[in-house]
Amino acid sequence: MTLAPSLLIEDLAFAYPDGNQALFGVNLRVERGEFVAILGPNGAGKTTLVMHMNGIHPAEHGSVSVAGEVIDTNDKDLLRRIRGKVGVVFQDPDDQLFMPTVGEDIAFGPYNMGLRGAELDAAVDHALALVHMSEFKDRPPHHLSFGQRRRVAVATVLAMKPEILVLDEPSSNLDPASRRELANILRELKITTLMVTHDMPYAYELCERSIILSGGVVVADGDTKTILSDSKLLSENRLELPVGFSL
Amino acid sequence: MAVLTFIIVSAATPITNWQAFIAYFAAIYIVSLVAKIPTPTLLKRSLIEIPFIFFAILMPFFGTGERFEVGPFNLYRESLLAGAGIVAKGTLGVLSAVVLSTSTTARELLRGLEKLHLPKLMVQIAAFMLRYVNVISDEMERMKVARESRGFIATGPKDWKVIAIAASALFIRSYERGERVHLAMLSRGYAGVLPHDMSEGASLKIWLQGLSLPLFALFILISTTVIG
């Protein structure tokens, strides 16, 4: 028996209520344990795609399945399960961290999944240890540095033991050392990871596979090195490697 | 809760019972001493009351009925009593609120409200306000710095338009942040309840300590009413 892929998106299209169509039929299959970078210019529909992966936006056309289960946004129990499986780390940690202390914030997700008492504490401690932030458990989020807040934001979803980790611009606004620390942490996790990013070197370093999303469709899908070496493909999609960077 | 009861009791006291008010002020002051709040801090923080009692101070100058003269002023007895009542009661309320807010952390206050079975939604809103007030004030500060970096210095009413536009931009940004926070919460399975640790109930001793102030005020009210 072959395992179901972690994520399977078939012919997904979506338009916002104001009529602005963001996705025009996206197909994507991500196997267990893969690291995939989602590249694309601003306004390509990357964030919209992410919002479909955990059922925030309902699939208007086409389907999204996580570990073999098709997301149905009308089924509340299923939705809760899906949100436990797909951990989304948002770009601005201040959007993600809203509880008075780091520990309580990390407890929020597993609490919603039904964990209580010692089990909940264990999940929080484990997630904090994974991002090397254990000593910050009782601190309020606004007293942490940006890099620390980003790591805590990652921990908030790790505490839910997700099947897939989805990161929206994980390296944005980080100093080089924080960027490096986060990369090491992500590599240690060994779970299926999708990262939306403009940071080409980061994608090259962490992800063996990349897709380019542009104009609401997947225009390229393949080995990261091959994609990033194709300067014509990149420039057609408003992407480029940093000056001085070569593969 | 003790503070609320105290305010209600003192507000229920007729202003003609002036001895009672002296006792109330003394009681609040003693509580502030017990809570180790420096008197200057107490006074400084209660300055917030001034805009509210401004009209109460003006009241004696307007009104109807019996009049009498104090120096150059022509005062009305009833309005004077009403005004003095508002000032005294208002000050008492503010002082007791200041004592509460200085001696208790915001988180403990929220927990207390939750225990008093205030609607969950209201407690949650207050908790979010607490979390984001820093984020928003930082944002406001950054916007101010950005304005000033482009040569804008607020000097008078003619600049209010710019500030009003900035405030509205801030409002919309906060609103959008609210939406993003909500999405982030949904992504982690939010279904209407925030986790909270079940802290132990207050002991009898704490209850008695808390109730001592309003009970004292009630005692003063009754005794002055009976005697007076």
Average pLDDT, chain B: 74
- State the burial class of residue A98 (Cβ atoms within 10 Å of its Cβ: 0-12, 13-18, 19+): buried
Give contacts of A99 with chain B, Cβ < 8 Å.
Answer: 127, 131, 194
**What pLDDT, on the 0 to 100 scale, is given for residue A1?**
47
Cα angle vertex B124, ends B120, B125, to 5°? Answer: 120
DSSP conformation class of A101 = S
Is there a single domain that holds both residue B28 and residue B90? yes
Q: Is B155 on the interface with A (CB under 8 A)?
A: no
User: Which of the pair, A39 or B13, is modelled with greater confidence?
Assistant: A39
The reply to whether B62 and B85 lie within a common domain is: yes
| Distant-in-sequence, close-in-space partners of A40: CB < 8 Å, separation ≥ 6 | A46, A196, A212, A213, A214, A237, A239
* Cβ <8 Å between B135 and A142: yes
Average pLDDT over residues A19-25: 92
Residue A128 pLDDT grade (very low, low, confident, very high; cuts 50, 70, 90)? very high
Q: What is the pLDDT of residue B28?
A: 72
Give the whole-angstrom CA distance, residue A108 versus residue A99. 8
B135 in contact with chain A, both atoms CB, cutoff 8 A:
yes
- B150 and B44: one domain? no
- Distance (Å, rounded) from C-alpha B156 to C-alpha A26? 55
Higher pLDDT, B120 or A11: A11
Domain range spanning residue B143? 112-187
SS3 for B1?
Answer: coil
Q: What is the pLDDT of residue A64?
A: 94
B50 touches chain A (CB under 8 A): no
pTM of the model: 0.72
Extents of the domains making up chain A: 7-236
Residue of chain B minimizing CA distance to A50:
B187
Q: Domain tally for chain B?
A: 2
DSSP state letter for A242: P
**Is A46 within 8 Å of chain B by CB?**
no
SS3 label, residue B125? helix
B216 domain-assigned: yes
In the predicted structure, residue B198 carries a pLDDT above the cut 50? no
Query: Is there a contact between A112 and B181 if contact means CB atoms under 8 Å apart?
Result: no
pLDDT at B2 over 70: no
Can you give the pLDDT at residue A10?
94
State whether B15 and B89 are in the same domain: yes
Question: Residues 18 to 47 of B: which have CB under 8 A from any A CB?
Answer: none
Considering CB atoms only, which of B130, B177, B190 is closest to A112?
B190
pLDDT of residue A212: 95
Please check whether residues B98 and B13 belong to one and the same domain: yes
**Rounded CA gap, A52 and A13, in Å?**
10
B192–chain A nearest CA distance, Å: 9
Candidate ranges A117-126, B43-52, B73-82; pick with highest mean pLDDT: A117-126
A155 pLDDT higher than 70: yes
Sheet harboring A21-30: ordered strands across? A21-30, A7-15, A61-66, A69-70
CATH superfamily of A7-236: P-loop containing nucleotide triphosphate hydrolases (3.40.50.300)
Q: Counting beta carbons within 10 angstroms of the beta carbon of residue B49, is it exposed (0 to 12), middle (13 to 18) or buried (19 or more)? A: middle
CA distance B178 to chain A (A): 8
CB contact under 8 A, A156 and B183: no
Task: Inform me whether the pLDDT recorded for B204 exceeds 90.
Answer: no
Q: Are residues B155 and B219 in the same domain?
A: no
Domain assignment present for B59: yes
Within a domain: residue B194? no
Say what percent of chain B tops pLDDT 70: 71
Q: Determine, for residues A83 and B189 on separate chains, whether the beta-carbon distance falls below 8 Å.
A: yes
Residue B19, pLDDT > 80, answer: no
B172 vs B166: CA distance, rounded Å: 10
**Is residue B11 located within the same domain as residue B97?**
yes
Q: So what's the pLDDT on residue B24?
A: 73
| Pairing status of strand A21-30 against strand A192-196 | unpaired
pLDDT of residue B148: 75
Interface of B with A in 106-125 (CB under 8 A): 107
pLDDT band at A104 (very low <50, low <70, confident <90, very high): confident
**3-state DSSP helix/strand/coil % of chain B, to nearest 5:** 75, 5, 20
B193 inside domain: no
Interchain proximity B194–A108, CB inside 8 Å: yes
- Position B74 confidence tier, pLDDT thresholds 50, 70, 90: low
Report whether pLDDT(B209) > 60.
yes
